[in-house]
Amino acid sequence: MPNTKEQRLDLIENCSLLLEGVLKPFSQTDNTAAGRMITQCQWLKERAENHDLPLPVKEGKLGSLLYIYTNGELFTADSTKEEIHDTEVKMQRIIRLAYEGQLLAKPSYTPYTLRCIDALITLLQTAPRPLSPYEQGLIPDLGQLKRLLDEGKIEPPLGAYKPQYPNFIKAERSIRDIPNGKDYFYTVSDLIFNGVRPDSWLTPEDADRETRNL
């Protein structure tokens, strides 16, 4: 897995955004979810600033982050959908950086993401067997995602496939018997829904080289 300056800076940035945003009104305490998240984000940020945070971080060091993200304890009945989404995106990025040791998908990599989507569409359209209804439905879904991403109307990570893209759920396993189907599918899925790029895309130049001939 990569362990780069970019990841360290991205981790500092996303921890800072949480600390200065949704967590700012709260006190640091072990008695509340927000208080525990403040401790978690401050620890990650300080370690990253001190160049003392090997990636990925051991799960035991991220207990508060993983538990609170899974259980949604930061949110109340008054939390808006926009607030929840914005906070969850930041938390998911921290998890991908710290727990998974992955590289984030960013606007500078959008051209190469679009190439990957095109490659998956072409793979489906030229498949050596008839497509299932879900695989057929995946083609317009991919076209829509490509358009929205190209127009800057969506920003990875989108999160779970459901409920807007059920064809992804159904096609995830069946597409594996098509040559390159598994690799292309999961590359696109990671880029769009998980907001992470392949480990080999260390720079836009790397991404350009790897996707040029898809």
The verdict on 114 and 99 lying in the same domain is no
- Determine the average pLDDT of the residues in 105-125: 98
**Among candidate residues 202, 93, 7, 180, the one with its CA nearest the CA of residue 188:** 180
Domain boundary pick from 52, 70, 103: 103
Domain boundary pick from 103, 121, 150: 103
pLDDT of residue 130: 97
The verdict on 145 and 201 lying in the same domain is yes
- Determine the average pLDDT of the residues in 49-62: 93
Structural domain containing residue 45: 5-103
Q: If you compute the radius of gyration of the chain from its CA atoms, what whole number of angstroms results?
A: 19
The verdict on 113 and 205 lying in the same domain is yes
The verdict on 152 and 176 lying in the same domain is yes
> What tens digit of pLDDT does each residue of 69-100 get?
998 888 877 778 888 889 999 999 999 999 99
pLDDT of residue 54: 92
The verdict on 151 and 132 lying in the same domain is yes
The verdict on 98 and 118 lying in the same domain is no
Domain boundary pick from 81, 103, 125: 103
- Determine the average pLDDT of the residues in 127-139: 97
**Among candidate residues 41, 42, 33, the one with its CA nearest the CA of residue 79:** 33
Q: Which residues have C-beta within 8 Å of that of residue 102, sequence separation ≥ 6? A: 1, 2, 96, 196, 197, 199
* Highest-scoring range by mean pLDDT, 73-77, 119-123, 170-174: 119-123
The verdict on 44 and 83 lying in the same domain is yes
User: At what angle are helices 181-189 and 166-174 packed, to 10 degrees?
Assistant: 150
The verdict on 126 and 197 lying in the same domain is yes
Number of structural domains (the chain) is: 2
The verdict on 152 and 77 lying in the same domain is no
- Determine the average pLDDT of the residues in 146-174: 94
pLDDT of residue 46: 97
